[in-house]
Amino acid sequence: MMSLWALAMACVMASLLMGCTHRVDPNTLTFWTFGREGEAITQLLPQFERENPNIHVVLQQLPLSAAHQKLLTAFAGDSIPDMTQLGNTWMPEFVTLNALEPLQTRVAQSAVVKPSDYFTSIWNTNVYDGRLYGVPWYVDTRLLFYRNDLLKQAGFDTPPHDWAQWRRMLAATSHPDRGVYGILLPTNEYEQLMSLALQQPDPLLRDGGRYGNFESQGFKRALAFYVDTFRLHEAPDITNVEAGNPWSEFGSGVYDFYFSGPWNIGEFRKRLPASEQDDWNTAPLPGPDGPGASVAGGSSLVVFRNSTHKDAAWKLIEYLSRPAVQEQLYALLGDMPPRRSSWEGGNLHDDPKASAFREQLEDVKPTPPVPEWERIANEMQLVAAEAAAGELTVDQAAVEMDRRTDRILEKRRWILDHNQVAIGGRR
């Protein structure tokens, strides 16, 4: 009973306090950041506050694993910040909620944010129905890390350009009897299969995001390539939990290829000894016939519609979009900038391991712009893992993925058919 009383008192007190302090200081800008970015940005903000002494930024750092639900809960509870960083797979949800402030008029008047300077696909992940809802902050994509010394030993001088070549390299470098495999594809990560699937001409969802399109020829081709890698024992059938420490295993030659993102440049530099640093490099993703696309990931900076400090928020977005500041962020974290001009100077320009990313970023494709996508991708991977383990054929797996996806999208279909309100729909 004591605790109930305490709870009741706390509620009364809280409502009284809310009544008094509902209007916050007009110069205080609340900004939510996640994970590693949250730590690094503390070093970028002092300069901004020196330039804008009348704006005080209140930073809230959320762990990445809790960020998504905190944002949604804050929206439901009407306690959303002025601005936040937002992963571009989460953006469809907040566009659906009508929570974000359109930014195209501000961009049109801006001397700093120049749309033509941004990687086109990355910029377009922020545009829904012709309206811009965010400014890209950093980019993320997946490509190949490879051991050039081991490939050379196997008789290959360059990394693969297409799947056929890639398959030959995987075959030549896999010795499952010795526990050596061509590549590590953790069966509980969906990004790898999704990247291969995005290279196909067929979209992943059809009819405006109403149904799954996993039974398309294109997807089945990607799934078959993925599943064959396991059936031919060119990748071990394990999850990233069982894989343990992939960095040292890549270093010791257990895997010749590693399919991952930009942050691993830093990890490999940190974890592998200096003598091994010349033995690895990065390469754009090989496609079915020649160089292929990869996934357009990353985070944008967004302003919430209910914010009362939109001008101040926009000033901070412009500051963080300066090429010099983006280069600083790369130096701090290895987060790759979304602007071409940010790649011109400093560390990035001369970094041989980053150049493959620069090349890949010109050829990236966004994930389907529906709020349900992350859940669909999770289900896709669960089924793909069963196929990789040999429990389903490629055709059966594709049917099962479509079945699960269509069930998840049932609500979306109902809304699209009953309301004339446009939901999602990226252009």
Q: Which residues bind another protein (CB under 8 A)?
A: 1, 4-5, 7-8, 65, 68-69, 72-73, 75-76, 93, 96-98, 188, 239, 241-242, 244, 371, 375, 411-412, 414-415, 419, 421, 423
Minimum distance of another protein from residue 77's CB (angstroms) = 11
Q: Which is nearer to another protein, 210 or 340 (CB)?
A: 210
Backbone conformation region of residue 54, classed left if phi is above 0, alpha if psi is from -120 to 50, else beta: alpha
> What's the Cα-to-Cα distance from 200 to each of 223, 286, 292, 382, rounded to whole Å?
11, 12, 9, 21
CB-wise, 292 or 369, nearer to another protein? 369
> Cα(120)–Cα(60) distance, rounded to whole angstroms?
30
Tokens standing for residue 323: 């090429």
User: Which CB sits closer to another protein, 9 or 24?
Assistant: 9
Nearer CB in complex with another protein: 7/16: 7
Nearer to another protein, 206 or 375 (CB): 375
Cβ–Cβ under 8 Å, residues 285 and 142: yes
Shortest distance, CB of residue 54 to another protein, whole angstroms?
35
> To the nearest whole angstrom, how small is the minimum distance from the Cβ of residue 284 to another protein?
32
Question: At its nearest, how many Å lie between another protein and the CB of residue 68?
Answer: 7
Cβ proximity to another protein, 292 vs 371, nearer residue: 371
Q: Which is nearer to another protein, 46 or 63 (CB)?
A: 63
Q: Is the dihedral of CA 10, 12, 16, 21 positive or negative?
A: positive
Distance of CA 112 to the CA centre of its chain: 24
Check if the beta carbon of residue 189 is closer than 8 Å to that of residue 242: no
Rounded to the nearest whole angstrom, what is the least distance from the CB of residue 94 to another protein in the complex? Answer: 10
Residue 8 or residue 171: which is nearer to another protein going by CB? 8
Pairing mode of beta strands 83-87, 28-34: parallel
Return the residue matching tokens 């965010």.
134
Task: Give the integer Cα–Cα distance in Å for 150 and 249.
Answer: 13
Q: What three-state secondary structure class fits 235?
A: coil
Closest separation in Å from C-beta 388 to another protein: 14
- Contact in structure between 228 and 417 (CB atoms under 8 Å): no
How near is the Cβ of 412 to another protein at its closest, in Å? 8
- For another protein, which is the closer residue by CB, 114 or 411? 411
- CB 65 to another protein: min, Å: 7
Q: Are 380 and 220 in contact (CB under 8 A)?
A: no
Q: Measured from the CB of residue 38, what is the shortest distance to another protein in angstroms?
A: 19
- How far is CA 8 from each of CA 1, 13, 16, 17, 192, rounded to the nearest angstrom? 11, 9, 12, 14, 50
Tokens 């940190």 -> residue = 270
| 143's tokens | 């490509």
Contacts of 42 (CB under 8 A, 6+ apart): 59
3-state secondary structure of 142: coil
- DSSP, collapsed to helix, strand or coil, labels residue 130 as coil
The minimum distance between CB 63 and another protein, in angstroms, equals 11
Residue with tokens 């059809």: 206
Q: Choose between 269 and 411: whose C-beta lies nearer to another protein.
A: 411
Helix (H/G/I), strand (E/B), else coil: 364: strand
In contact, 373 and 367? CB cutoff 8 Å:
yes
